Structure 1
Amino acid sequence: MPESTDVPNPDPAPALALATVRAALGFSTDWTPRTDIGESATHVILWSQLELNDLYERLGRPGPVALRLAEPVDSLPVLELAFTVLVDGVGPVEASAEWCPTLGGHDTPLLRAATSAVHQLAC
């Protein structure tokens, strides 16, 4: 019997992980990670802190949350606000957005959770 010259199917795991993350986060089936900005199936970057907060609340306020320093924009301080959600079959998925404190958005559940976590670490 001659050997097959068919190219084997690529590993289905990445496609399955992406579909699972899309469904878990409620994203469109058209969404794909933008690797040019650092996204992957397990690291999602949202446009704004408010959009990130909406996702956080829609998912039932999963944790943990983080607040980290990011690259300044036009000499303004910028923080990266993030939370991690455990997606069945994939593992931890981090969603993040940059937040410039001088532009507002101080009173959201996600930011309150992040600043509370920072305050607990400092005490």
Structure 2
Amino acid sequence: MAATARLTAPLPPAAVHAMARIEYALAAPERELITKVGQALGWGQYWKPSAHLGETATYITMWSQHELNAVYERVGGTVTTRPVQRHVDNVTWNATEIILTADLPDIGPVQIVTDWADGIGGHDLPVVRATGNAIPEVAA
């Protein structure tokens, strides 16, 4: 015996709008946190985390050690490193991730990370010196 599909009626427009308002209200704390983090880091109220990169209001990726250094010089924090493996398009490589943990007032800890990029220099940057020489110099 074949199963009969039950058709459901579409929601009335008033119900759709009510659900959208509820969803918007429930997301308010996260929107407020994102705004506070952006302002605390000096990026302004319109900064938003890039979800496709795995970013959240309290976990942010930077493009380079130079950008990470600018944040470090602005807000300070604790700098650590860890070895990581990255995978993109069936290619795997080892990298050193630099992690800046900034304890932002009225927000709490926020992690800002980047991978060390050999080709652009930066051993003299304060954020790299704060790692305690965890990034070895590569001989030219």
- TM-score past 0.5 threshold: yes
**Count of aligned positions:** 112
Q: Are the structure 2 counterparts of residues 99 and 11 from structure 1 closer, same or farther at C-alpha, using a change threshold of 3 Å?
A: same
Unaligned runs of 5+ in 1: 119-123
Question: Does the aligned pair in 1 maintain the 2:66–2:122 contact within 8 Å?
Answer: yes
CA RMSD of aligned residues (A): 2.5
Q: Which residue of 1 aligns with 2:113?
A: 96
Unaligned runs of 5+ in 2: 1-14, 135-140
- Counterpart residue type for residue 59 of structure 2: H
- 1:15 lines up with 2:28 in the alignment: no
Question: Does the aligned pair in 2 maintain the 1:66–1:81 contact within 8 Å?
Answer: yes
Cα deviation, 1:43-70, whole Å, max 9, x if unaligned, reads 11111110100110122xx221111112
Q: Which residue of 2 aligns with 1:71?
A: 85
Higher relative contact order (CA 8 A, sep 6+): 1
Question: Does the aligned pair in 1 maintain the 2:35–2:46 contact within 8 Å?
Answer: no
The structure having more radius of gyration, on CA atoms, is: 2
Q: Which residue of 1 aligns with 2:74?
A: 58
Please report the TM-score for the alignment, with normalisation by the length of structure 1. 0.76
Q: Which residue of 1 aligns with 2:138?
A: none
Please report the TM-score for the alignment, with normalisation by the length of structure 2. 0.68
Q: Partner of 1:55: helix, strand, or coil?
A: helix
**Identity over the aligned pairs, expressed in percent?**
32
Q: Which residue of 2 aligns with 1:41?
A: 57
Residue range with higher mean Cα deviation, 103-112 or 65-74 = 65-74
Q: Which residue of 1 aligns with 2:12?
A: none
